[in-house]
Structure 1
C-alpha cells in the first residue's frame, strides 16, 4: 500500500502535468507613436499611458527627481515626499508603473523590460523638459529594483545623474531557500491567476499605522496579488541583484534594519556585492528604527532630510571612505 507521502507526491505531479500553464505577461500598449508628456500622463512609444503627479517648488528649481513606487502601490506613495522635496527646491515627478494604480491592465505583470523602458523614456522626457538641471531617480522597493535592473541590461547609460534606492527589492532566487523557489514555480505555472492577499502574515511594513490604514482604504492600492505577478517580480529581483556590481551611477541606498518585507540576507548580499565590485560611488545609510516604507515611517523626516542633502550635494563622484562604509555593513550584516 502506498504511503500518504507517496500518494500526495503522485497527486501533486499529476496536478502539475495536467495543469501546467505559463505565467502571463500583459501585451504592449495601443497605437505606437513618439513618446511625449501630456499634462497628467506620459505617453510611451507603444501608446501606453502612464498617469503622473508633479510637485514644483515655489522658486527656481535646483534639481529634478523621478520617483518609482513599489509593488501594488502607485504614485500616491510620494504624496508626502513630493511636497517635502519641492519645499526645498526639487521638482518631483511620480508616475504609475504599468499594471499599477490607474493604468490599463491593472493587476497584471507587464514585464521587466517594459518597466525599465518606461523609466528610461521618462528620464529622457524630463531631461528635455528641464535642461540644465540634475536629474535623480528615486525608487522604493520594486521601483528600486527597476532602477538597478537598468544598470545591467547592456543598454546605454540611464540618462540621469544619480539614483536613490529605498528598501530595494533584491530578494532574488539565489537568496531564497529551495522550497520557496519550488513553491513559487509550482503556483505560478499551475495557478497563475490565483491571488494572494498576505492576510495572516505577521509582517509589519511600517510603524505608521494611520498611513497603513489609509492604504487599506485606497481603491488604487492593489490588495490581492496574482501568482504570475509574484513570478514576474522575482524575475525582476533576479536581474536587480545581478546588476549590482555593474552600478555606474552615483547611488544612495537606504535600508531600515526593521524591514520585514525584504529580509536581511538579500539586502546584505546587495551591499557586499557592491563593496567587492570596487565601485566607490555609492553610499548606504542604515536606519536602526526604519521599516520597509522608510519615506512614510514615523521617522520619515530623517530619511527625507538625508535624501535632500544627497540630491543637493554639489559633488557625488568622490568615493566614500571604504573603511567607514565597510564597518557599518559589517555591524549590520555580521
Structure 2
C-alpha cells in the first residue's frame, strides 16, 4: 500500500490538495471521494488503507474552502462566484487526472454529507462514465425548502457580507443535531458514538468551523437543483448506487435516506441499494461499527464491479 499527496491545479487560481492511497497489487478500480462540510480528506486515511488492502485505489481531495486547499483560498468559502459549479467541476478535473494515471480502471464516486450533494450534481452529467456511486450521510427534501433556506442565507449575506459567518444559519442547520444525544459531552456528539473519534474532530483545527454565507448560498442552490425529479432522471438508470447512513444520524434521520433512495428509484434508477445501520450516527466510517461498514462497502464495490459496465468514456 502506498500513500501520497499532491497539488492539482484547478480553475480560478485554485489548487486542490489531493490524497491518494494505492494498492501494492494491480488496481481493481479507483474510488474518488468527496468529503463533507467543515472537515477534510485527510480524515479518510483508515478507509484508504482498507481499500488499498482490498485492491482499490482511493483519491480524496480537500475541497475548496477546506483542509489544505483552503491555504490558497479562504476557509469556509468555495469561491467568490460560481462556487457550486467550481466544486462540481473539481470532481471532473480529478476524474480526468485519475483516468490519465490509471487508464481503463473502473471509477467509483463516493460522497459523504455535503460531498454527497456535490457527487449527485456530478452524476447529473457524468454518471455514464462511472462504475457506481456511494452516497453516505446524505439527505433529500423538497426543493421549496431549499429555496426558502437560500432566502435566509441571502439575507444574512446582505446583513453580514458574503464572507460573514452567520450564527442564525448555524443554528438552523446544526442547532438541533445534538438534542437526541443528551446529556452532551461535546457540541459534536452527533457525529459518532465513539468519543475518541469525536475528540479527534474537536481537536482538529481544520474541522468544525463555521462556513461563510456565500458557501451556504452556493450549497442551498445546488441542493435545490439536485432534488428536482427531472434532474435526477438525468442519472444513468443502470448506474449502481449505494445509499448508506446511520438510523440515528440527525442529518438524514433514516427517513430522508429512504426518501433519497425512493426518489432515485422513481427517477428511473434500477440499481439503488439502501443500507441503514441501527444506532449509528453521521460519520459511519468513524463509528463504533466502522469495520463492519467498511467491509460492507468493499463487498458492494465487488458486486458493482462484477456487473461489468462499459469502460469509461471520459
Give the TM-score category using the shorter length. Answer: 0.7 to 0.9
Aligned length: 278
Residues 1:159 and 2:125 are matched in the alignment: no
Inter-partner Cα distance in structure 1 for 2:242 and 2:51? 16
141, 144, 168: which is aligned to 2:138?
168
Inter-partner Cα distance in structure 1 for 2:143 and 2:157? 14
Q: What residue in structure 2 maps to residue 54 of structure 1?
A: 20
SS of the residue corresponding to residue 306 of structure 2 reads coil
Following TM superposition, by how much is the alpha carbon of 1:265 offset from its aligned partner in structure 2, in angstroms?
Answer: 5.3
Distance 1:120 1:200, change over 3 A: closer
SS of the residue corresponding to residue 67 of structure 2 reads coil
Query: Within 5 Å, which residues of 2 pair with 1:14-93?
Result: 40-93=6-59
Of 116-125 and 155-164, deviating more is 155-164
Q: Is the 8 A contact 1:256 1:289 kept in 2?
A: yes
Question: RMSD value over aligned CA atoms?
Answer: 2.6
205, 215, 225: which is aligned to 1:229?
215
Q: What residue in structure 2 maps to residue 285 of structure 1?
A: 275
Following TM superposition, by how much is the alpha carbon of 1:250 offset from its aligned partner in structure 2, in angstroms?
Answer: 2.0
SS of the residue corresponding to residue 252 of structure 1 reads strand
Query: Within 5 Å, which residues of 2 pair with 1:120-139?
Result: 120-139=92-111
Distance 1:74 1:257, change over 3 A: same
Inter-partner Cα distance in structure 1 for 2:253 and 2:156? 22
Q: What residue in structure 2 maps to residue 273 of structure 1?
A: 263
Q: What residue in structure 1 maps to residue 306 of structure 2?
A: 315
Q: What residue in structure 1 maps to residue 116 of structure 2?
A: 144
165, 169, 184: which is aligned to 1:194?
165
Q: What residue in structure 1 maps to residue 206 of structure 2?
A: 220
Distance 1:262 1:42, change over 3 A: same
Following TM superposition, by how much is the alpha carbon of 1:108 offset from its aligned partner in structure 2, in angstroms?
Answer: 1.1
Of 297-306 and 236-245, deviating more is 236-245
Q: Is the 8 A contact 1:54 1:92 kept in 2?
A: yes
Structure 2: gaps (5+ residues): 179-189, 310-314
Inter-partner Cα distance in structure 2 for 1:146 and 1:85? 22
Superposed CA deviations along residues 213-235 of structure 1, whole A, max 9, x for unmatched, are 11111122242222332222212
Q: Is the 8 A contact 1:142 1:169 kept in 2?
A: no
Inter-partner Cα distance in structure 1 for 2:291 and 2:232? 28
Q: Is the 8 A contact 1:173 1:234 kept in 2?
A: no
Structure 1: gaps (5+ residues): 1-37, 319-334
Following TM superposition, by how much is the alpha carbon of 1:93 offset from its aligned partner in structure 2, in angstroms?
Answer: 1.1
SS of the residue corresponding to residue 227 of structure 2 reads helix
Following TM superposition, by how much is the alpha carbon of 1:257 offset from its aligned partner in structure 2, in angstroms?
Answer: 1.1
Inter-partner Cα distance in structure 2 for 1:229 and 1:161? 30
Inter-partner Cα distance in structure 1 for 2:272 and 2:289? 23
Inter-partner Cα distance in structure 1 for 2:224 and 2:307? 28
Distance 1:67 1:156, change over 3 A: closer
Following TM superposition, by how much is the alpha carbon of 1:184 offset from its aligned partner in structure 2, in angstroms?
Answer: 3.8
SS of the residue corresponding to residue 80 of structure 1 reads helix
64, 70, 76: which is aligned to 1:107?
76
Distance 1:308 1:156, change over 3 A: closer
